[in-house]
Amino acid sequence: MIFRILLGSFLVFALSLVHAERALPQGIRSPAKREVRATAQDFFDYIHKDYQPRAEKLTAEDVEASWKFNTNITAHNEQEMIASSEKVAKFDKEIATYIRANFKDVDFSANATLKRVRDKLVLLGDANLPDAEFSELQTVEARMKNIYSTAKVCKTIGVHADDVEDKCPKEHQLELEPGITQLIQNSRDEPLLKHLWKSWRDATGRHMKHDYARYVVLKNKGAQMDGYADNGAAWRSTYVEPDLEYLDQNFIDEAEGIWQQLKPLYEQLHAYVRHSLQTQYPTVRGLRNPKGPIPAHLLGNMWAQQWSNLQDFSRPHPDKPSLDVTPAMVEKNYTANGMFHMSDDFFASLGLIRMPGKFWDHSMLSKPDPKERLVVCHASAWDFYNREDFRIKQCTDIRMKDFITVHHEMGHVEYYLQYKDLEIPFRRGANDGFHEAVGDTLALSVQTPSHLKSLGLLADSFNINDSDLEENSLYSMALEKIAFLPFGYLMDKYRYDIFNGKIKPENYNSKWWEYLAEYQGICAPVPRSEDDFDAGAKFHVPSSVPYMRYFVSFIIQFQFHEAMCKEAGYTGPLHRCDISDPSLGEGGKRAGALLAKTLKMGSSQPWQNAIETITKGKTRKMDAGPLLEFFKPMQEWLTKKNQELKLIPGWHKITDCSAENFTSWLTQYNTEASAVMFADVTASWNYQTNITDANEAAMLAASANSAAFTQAKSHEMEAIFNATDVLQLNKTERRVFEKLSKLGDAALEAGDFNSLKTLIANMEKTYSTAKVCKDRGIRLDMAKCPEKHQLELEPHIKDILDKSRDPEEMKYLWHAWRDATGKKMRKDYISYIGLKNKAAVADGYKDTAEVWRAPYVEPSYNYTDANFLEEVDKLWVQMKPLYQDLHAYIRVKLRDLYGDKVITNLNGPIPAHLLSNMWAQSWLGLLGDTQPFRGKPQLDVSTEMVAQKWDADKMFKTSEKFFTDLGLIAMPQEFWSKSMLTKPEGREVVCHASAWDFYNGKDFTIKQCTSPNMQDLFTVHQ
């Protein structure tokens, strides 16, 4: 099925317009400079007497050539079409050149409208290009369109789109219209849907990627020659009104603002539909994720752009009928021709212009037999610019959706008819969105249950006042109108970014999926690569038709509808308004007259004036208000329903939800996790290198955020990949899976988590800010201790322990330090153990000790926790004799040093304060007093380091050189600029040496209160 709105109308509409703007038959006037300055009247005469008659003739011929190709795709017709385009382009150049030469300085102050004509006619677009490039662009575009229009896929799963001719039986070969479309809409066979979804992309986008890149270069060149930044800006120029100071950026901002306004409604619909699909397809992988995007092939539409075909299983009240009147249309023997006449009658009932006779003679209203000729089925409305020929080309099916499309296309022709007597450059919509909105606006009335009932398409038993039925009806409208919004918006956001160079050809497909994941919340059901070009699987991309118009149209059609309902005298809820309702009397005609008045303006005035006209002065802006008003009851229903079902609106931006793809999930995880972890580590670094209350609060917040993320991702992962899936992962993937299944502290509830982190921060602070007074009588009472006597662990206490040989001094410091630290945190530590163990148990461990040992355990090699404990014990037993020898030796040396009053028992343990280290963990400080051969040079180079003025920087540089000499990686620039290598002045820090990874791939730092001594030199290397 065609997206009806896509209305290829523009296809021709655009071509012909551009041509028209340029057309001037060759040789009518030589582009020589005039002697006398031209007046506005001269220009007016030129337009009406010279330019217009010839342009109309030439354009009609050109549109005819295009029509022929589109309704009969042959190489010959394609050549004719291209030749015609080239002819027109050539004339256009002459016109623009002539106007530029002769009417550049005309005083238009009394006639702004004429100036608008002049300004539009000097733009050439593609025709700016040198002949060879113009011709190349035509060829490239024709080739892409041709690929799209003639693409076929095989219904048999397993037959690749490239093998259709050879390997697919004729009766299984499918074209987009009607075969593929019907299956995508109606089939609930997931593997088949996936096959069709992929095959269509294989048959189209994949074959045009290179052409598209070339097309972009050429389009940009043409646009730039008109003075635009790029072709995206040229496309947006339909919305730009420099005289009103409404510039390119104003439009971009306004569109984004409108999308943001609508997003919450879309998210509610998305959440509800995702849930319905989960019920419909319980085994499909991509749907298991409760916060996942929706796999793109399940939405009843090749591009997931409108979801109307899901209402059979997702509508609010499944026991009540849906509003799909297709069966009734079939039953009543509707024909394509009949549907167009009904639409024509509807327009006439509002006092609008009927389709002229030639329309009925020349239009193509149903698909011709493909054996006879191939056609571009995409529905479109055509203006031949001769004020006589207007046509529609549509492969109309007998179904409700097509009935609405008929109105849509007729809306275009109605616009053509209303403005046909304006100057050619004004024969277009006030902006592109207006043109798309006309038919849709009227269809909003046609689609009301009351109107459908009046047409006899709803059974007499259908009670239009039943609120359940009304919800079904509004839901069906939401699947059509709300589901479309992000797609309508992103199509051109994506192409704007291609034209402006933000997206390069090598990223075409990955970026496309980023946009789909971001705006639509859909994901690819099979893996995609840069060999694919999935955007090219959508008509408007190969056909070079801008798309923002549909987004704009979907907004303003509700403004128009509201304005017309009001004009008709209707006062009820907007979604029930049918402007043709007989009870409104002449109201429908009044509304029709208001619309006609707006349409007649064409593009002769800024579109803001057109909005002002139709809203009768209420506003001059695009406004999402009427749309939201229309869907208010549905938004309320969805919000309530989602709450009942405990659904969370929104989705993770996963681009690939294919079965095989744990790796792709992981890639996504890594991207998201590095951002979260970077924030977490940064906050922690900031705190540890500057202990303040504010930094502590920031660290706790970042840490809580990180925990919430860990929890969410782990749950998500387990929701998507169940036990069977895990068995299919390879070893590395399974390791990752298992690691991510463990939450660590994040397994705690938020309250407990926060308590734990606060306990840790408090203990860390106690430890890091602890001081001991040198005066033994004062001990820990810093208020009484002179500043100079306040000893910190690093460097003061460490130094003293390293050098002092006064047992009383060492004992004092040893004892006071424990009082200043451990004793103060005893209670915190008990709570800490409780919480840590709680987290460990939640992760499936016995206790935190087992968690800490987990990195040593390798279940895949049958190396268990018990094995590890046993092995560590063994190592200790093995080392113990050596340690005992050293211990005995040192004990003797210490007795020699301190006498037997201090070392009372030669067979006993050594008093802990005598080992030159606060924790007796390294005895290096005793080297000078205990080495076997005193008097010989020591290996302790500390003294020498001080003498040679080594500083922290030199120590780290020396260490780095040692690493690089081994062929290892040098520290990056960020290391040297960000690390804290010495203890800073004026702020409290956690001195304990540590190395940091910020998880962003570039920031790695060390924090160390380095002193120039051998011990620290070792630590530096470590």
**Cβ-based nearer residue to Zn ion, 9 or 615:** 9
Tell me which residue of 262, 264, 260 sits closest to 650, measured CA to CA: 264
Only segment of 1-9, 316-324, 473-481, 948-956 that touches Zn ion (CB under 5 A) = 1-9
Q: In the numeric block, which tokens belong to residue 111?
A: 């006639």
**Cβ-based nearer residue to Zn ion, 481 or 913:** 481
Binding to Zn ion by residue 960, rule CB under 5 A?
no
Least Å from the CB of residue 166 to Zn ion: 38
Q: How many angstroms separate the CA atoms of 577 and 437, rounded?
A: 17
Answer yes or no: are the C-beta atoms of 772 and 778 closer than 8 Å. no
Q: In the numeric block, which tokens belong to residue 686?
A: 């900031």
**Cβ-based nearer residue to Zn ion, 9 or 314:** 9
Least Å from the CB of residue 5 to Zn ion: 5
Only segment of 5-13, 689-697, 855-863, 883-891 that touches Zn ion (CB under 5 A) = 5-13
Least Å from the CB of residue 411 to Zn ion: 7
DSSP string, 80-116: HHHHHHHHHHHHHHHHHHHHHHHSSS---TT-HHHHH
Catalytic residue among 177, 241, 409, 470: 409
Least Å from the CB of residue 82 to Zn ion: 25
Residue 796: C-alpha distances to residues 314, 780, 813 (Å): 73, 15, 11
Only segment of 2-10, 41-49, 342-350, 860-868 that touches Zn ion (CB under 5 A) = 2-10
Q: How many angstroms separate the CA atoms of 94 and 88, rounded?
A: 10
Does the annotation list 796 as a binding residue?
A: no
Q: How many angstroms separate the CA atoms of 492 and 230, rounded?
A: 13
Does the annotation list 412 as a binding residue?
A: yes
**Cβ-based nearer residue to Zn ion, 7 or 747:** 7
- Based on the residue annotation, tell me whether 409 is a catalytic residue of this protein: yes
Site string for Zn ion, 683-722 (x = CB under 5 A): ----------------------------------------
**Cβ-based nearer residue to Zn ion, 405 or 1010:** 405
**Cβ-based nearer residue to Zn ion, 62 or 436:** 436
Q: How many angstroms separate the CA atoms of 965 and 985, rounded?
A: 34
Least Å from the CB of residue 415 to Zn ion: 10
Chain mean position to CA 113: 41
Q: How many angstroms separate the CA atoms of 920 and 911, rounded?
A: 9
Does the annotation list 858 as a binding residue?
A: no
**Cβ-based nearer residue to Zn ion, 67 or 103:** 67
Only segment of 69-77, 428-436, 595-603, 722-730 that touches Zn ion (CB under 5 A) = 428-436
Alpha helices for 226-309 (secondary structure H): 231-236, 248-280
Does the annotation list 436 as a binding residue?
A: yes
- Binding-residue total with Zn ion (CB under 5 A): 3
Answer yes or no: are the C-beta atoms of 289 and 277 closer than 8 Å. no
Give me the residue whose beta carbon is nearest to Zn ion: 7
Q: Give the number of C-alpha atoms closer than 13 A to the C-alpha of residue 107, restricted to the C-beta side.
A: 3
Q: In the numeric block, which tokens belong to residue 734?
A: 């399974």
Q: How many angstroms separate the CA atoms of 1008 and 1019, rounded?
A: 9
Q: Helix or strand or coil: residue 627?
A: helix
Q: How many angstroms separate the CA atoms of 698 and 686, rounded?
A: 9
Q: Give the number of C-alpha atoms closer than 13 A to the C-alpha of residue 359, restricted to the C-beta side.
A: 23
Least Å from the CB of residue 408 to Zn ion: 5
Q: In the numeric block, which tokens belong to residue 954?
A: 């030199």
Catalytic residue among 407, 540, 575, 913: 540
Least Å from the CB of residue 412 to Zn ion: 6
Does the annotation list 408 as a binding residue?
A: yes
Per-residue three-class SS string for 633-683: HHHHHHHHHHHHCCCCCCCCCCCECCCCCHHHHHHHHHHHHHHHHHHHHHH
**Cβ-based nearer residue to Zn ion, 9 or 448:** 9
Residue from 414, 432, 436, 1016 binding Zn ion (CB under 5 A): 436
Q: How many angstroms separate the CA atoms of 494 and 807, rounded?
A: 76
Only segment of 253-261, 432-440, 680-688, 821-829 that touches Zn ion (CB under 5 A) = 432-440
Tell me which residue of 183, 153, 156 sits closest to 165, measured CA to CA: 153
Q: How many angstroms separate the CA atoms of 911 and 319, rounded?
A: 85
Q: Which residues contact 439 (CB under 8 A, 6 or more apart)?
A: 407, 408, 409, 410, 411, 412, 414
Only segment of 240-248, 275-283, 429-437, 983-991 that touches Zn ion (CB under 5 A) = 429-437
**Cβ-based nearer residue to Zn ion, 9 or 268:** 9
**Cβ-based nearer residue to Zn ion, 268 or 394:** 394
Answer yes or no: are the C-beta atoms of 564 and 579 closer than 8 Å. yes
Q: How many angstroms separate the CA atoms of 215 and 74, rounded?
A: 22
The type of residue at 366 is S
Only segment of 84-92, 436-444, 666-674, 800-808 that touches Zn ion (CB under 5 A) = 436-444
Only segment of 8-16, 520-528, 624-632, 741-749 that touches Zn ion (CB under 5 A) = 8-16
Site string for Zn ion, 382-421 (x = CB under 5 A): ----------------------------------------
Least Å from the CB of residue 554 to Zn ion: 12
Answer yes or no: are the C-beta atoms of 161 and 203 closer than 8 Å. yes
**Cβ-based nearer residue to Zn ion, 1 or 740:** 1
Q: How many angstroms separate the CA atoms of 552 and 717, rounded?
A: 38
Answer yes or no: are the C-beta atoms of 962 and 1021 closer than 8 Å. yes
Q: How many angstroms separate the CA atoms of 20 and 23, rounded?
A: 5
Structure-derived torsion over alpha carbons of residues 905, 908, 913, 915, reported in degrees to the nearest 10:
100
Least Å from the CB of residue 536 to Zn ion: 21
Answer yes or no: are the C-beta atoms of 78 and 122 closer than 8 Å. no
**Cβ-based nearer residue to Zn ion, 7 or 196:** 7
Q: How many angstroms separate the CA atoms of 840 and 837, rounded?
A: 5
Binding to Zn ion by residue 7, rule CB under 5 A?
yes
Q: How many angstroms separate the CA atoms of 246 and 812, rounded?
A: 78
Binding to Zn ion by residue 106, rule CB under 5 A?
no
Q: In the numeric block, which tokens belong to residue 402?
A: 């097509």
Q: In the numeric block, which tokens belong to residue 410?
A: 């007729």
Pairing type for strands 294-295 and 390-393 reads: unpaired
Least Å from the CB of residue 512 to Zn ion: 23
Question: Which residues of the chain form contacts with Zn ion (CB under 5 A)?
Answer: 7, 9, 436
Residue ranges for the binding site for Zn(2+)?
A: 408, 412, 436
Q: Which residues are annotated as a binding site?
A: 239, 408, 412, 436, 549
List the catalytic residues.
Answer: 409, 540
Residue list for the binding site for chloride: 239, 549
